[in-house]
């Protein structure tokens, strides 16, 4: 596992592995945070958690852009031979959709705060002012993006669950390296 | 200069006295205005406004006003410094034009209007800073916390038992347990009030 930062045809490198888990943890954490922050009775805590949700969302967006750039410049390893023809066709679609949700969720959130009549500035981690997207403010636009963000979040988390169940099936049922190779680059054995 | 050269020395001296008297007359007339203004006034909310503005990161600000308040102004006839201003604001009446922001301001995140229904200002000293201006120092109490604050009062008009002041000042909201949203929203609240008092 020395200096295995980049991917090879048979295994993922550290960069892809770290981005995968960091973004995964952020994505799931953002879902939980979003779920909680709109159900609180304390308006102060709600306000603060919403600002944290925005900060983490911008961080997520930055990491996702980095990840997509890395994925384009650094081909993913081939699927192990144990992966059947159905999954060979559907897994890339699911992964493509996961990338889509990773981008669409922070972008729809950014659109939501940009069109909101509340005009609350976005200040990621209180470091700098993130400009709004060039979209017109209105109650109708706010309702639209709030609904879009909500549906995308639930659809996205459903896909994450499917993705995790598929990984667990590979590990515990098919007993192949699909899950292991996204945990450690050294898990080259059996990759074919 | 040209005038003093043309007239005789004695007349020049008289003219000088007249000029001095004219100079003295300015504060004298202001003092007369003060004695005219002296008395007790009740603030008339219908002709008054209490507006505030909080700056936002990246520009712009959150502007609002309190619709309900009450108070009195007493101007001492012999010593402006002994004048008093009392003002009570009902934060429940806050308005920004956005009902969600109003609800947030009324909630325990900011004013906690349910438990602290009044914001009070009681002056402790009034210091004249000009013919028509004064610095009013007092104790501001909000959410159970009291701190000294300063406001500038500028006389805007005085007629027929009505007195009008424009009062401005800056208050740090963090002192009163209202620091939510900093630094996205400034800690400084800029007050701009027009207070109209009716005698009696």
For residues B31 and B65, membership in a common domain is answered with no
For residues B67 and B14, membership in a common domain is answered with no
Per-residue pLDDT at A162: 96
CATH architecture group of domain A14-182: Up-down Bundle (1.20)
Domain of B61, CATH number, reads 2.40.128.110
Q: Which tens digits make up the pLDDT trace of B145-161? A: 999 999 999 999 898 89
Q: How many domains in chain B?
A: 2
For residues B166 and B90, membership in a common domain is answered with yes
Q: Which tens digits make up the pLDDT trace of A153-175? A: 999 999 999 999 999 999 999 99
For residues B30 and B49, membership in a common domain is answered with no
For residues B65 and B159, membership in a common domain is answered with yes
**Claim: this prediction has a pTM higher than 0.90:** no
Q: Which tens digits make up the pLDDT trace of A49-86? A: 999 999 999 999 999 999 999 999 998 999 888 888 99
Q: How far is A121 from chain B, CA to nearest CA, in Å?
A: 7
- Rounded Cα distance, B51 and B66, in Å: 7
Is A43–B107 a contact, with Cβ atoms under 8 angstroms apart?
Answer: yes
Contact residues, chain B, for A126 at CB < 8 Å: 183-184
Residues B19-29 have a mean pLDDT of: 43
For residues B157 and B81, membership in a common domain is answered with yes
Which B positions 115-154 lie with beta carbon below 8 A of chain A? none
Model confidence at B81, pLDDT cuts 50, 70, 90, reads: confident
For residues B47 and B123, membership in a common domain is answered with yes
- Taking alpha carbons only, the member of A166, A188, A184 closest to residue A17 is A184
Contact B53, B192 (CB under 8 A): yes
Per-residue pLDDT at B36: 80
DSSP A8: -
- Rounded Cα distance, B153 and B189, in Å: 17
Contact A43, B109 (CB under 8 A): yes
Determine the Cα angle at A117 with ends A113 and A123, to 5°: 35
Residue B9's domain spans which residues? 1-37
Identify which of B56, B103, B108 has the shortest CB distance to residue A44.
B108
Residues in contact with B74: Cβ distance below 8 Å, sequence separation at least 6, in sequence order: B39, B40, B41, B83, B84, B85
ipTM of the complex: 0.87
Determine phi and psi for B191, rounding to 5 degrees. Answer: -100, 140
For residues B53 and B9, membership in a common domain is answered with no
Domain ranges for chain A, please list them: 14-182
For residues B44 and B121, membership in a common domain is answered with yes
Q: Which tens digits make up the pLDDT trace of A4-48? A: 899 998 899 999 999 999 999 999 999 999 999 999 999 999 999
For residues B26 and B42, membership in a common domain is answered with no
For residues B14 and B79, membership in a common domain is answered with no
For residues B94 and B114, membership in a common domain is answered with yes
DSSP B179: -
- Mutant choice from A37, A41, A42, A43 vs B, greatest count of B C-beta within 10 A: A43
Cis, bond preceding B183 (omega within 30 deg of 0): yes
Q: Provide the β-strand partners of residue B168.
A: B152, B192
């Amino acid at each position: 596992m020395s200096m295995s930062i980049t991917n090879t045809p048979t295994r993922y490198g550290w960069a892809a592995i770290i981005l995968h888990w960091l973004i995964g943890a952020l994505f799931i954490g953002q879902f939980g945070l979003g779920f909680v922050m709109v159900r609180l009775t304390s308006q102060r805590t709600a306000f603060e958690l919403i600002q944290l949700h925005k900060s983490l969302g911008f961080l997520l967006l930055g990491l996702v852009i980095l990840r997509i750039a890395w994925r384009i410049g650094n081909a993913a390893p081939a699927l192990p031979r144990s992966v059947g023809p159905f999954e060979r066709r559907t897994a890339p679609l699911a992964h493509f959709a996961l990338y889509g949700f990773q981008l669409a969720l922070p972008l729809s959130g950014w659109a939501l705060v940009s069109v909101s009549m509340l005009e609350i500035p976005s200040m990621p981690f209180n470091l700098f002012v993130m400009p709004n997207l060039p979209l017109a403010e209105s109650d109708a636009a706010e309702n639209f993006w709030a609904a879009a963000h909500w549906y995308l979040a639930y659809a996205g988390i459903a896909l994450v669950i499917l993705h995790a169940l598929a990984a667990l099936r590979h590990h515990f049922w098919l007993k192949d390296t699909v899950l292991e190779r996204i945990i450690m680059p050294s898990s080259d054995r059996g990759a074919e | 200069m040209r005038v003093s050269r043309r007239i005789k020395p004695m007349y020049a001296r008289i003219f000088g006295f007249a000029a001095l008297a004219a100079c003295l007359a300015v504060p004298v007339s202001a003092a007369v205005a003060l004695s005219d203004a002296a008395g007790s006034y009740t603030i008339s909310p219908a002709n008054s406004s209490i507006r505030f503005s909080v700056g936002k990161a990246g520009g712009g600000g959150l502007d609002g006003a309190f619709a309900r308040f009450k108070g009195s102004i007493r101007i001492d006839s012999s010593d402006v410094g002994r004048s008093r201003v009392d003002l009570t604001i009902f934060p429940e009446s806050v308005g920004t034009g956005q009902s969600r922001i109003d609800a947030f301001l009324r909630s325990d995140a900011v004013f906690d209007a349910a438990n602290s229904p009044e914001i009070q200002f009681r002056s402790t000293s009034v210091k004249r800073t000009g013919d028509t201006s004064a610095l009013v120092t007092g104790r501001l109490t909000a959410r159970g916390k009291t701190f000294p604050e300063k406001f500038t009062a500028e006389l805007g008009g005085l007629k027929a038992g009505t007195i009008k002041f424009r009062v401005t000042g800056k208050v740090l909201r963090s002192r009163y347990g209202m620091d939510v949203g900093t630094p996205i929203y400034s800690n400084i609240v800029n007050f701009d009030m027009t207070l109209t008092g009716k005698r009696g």
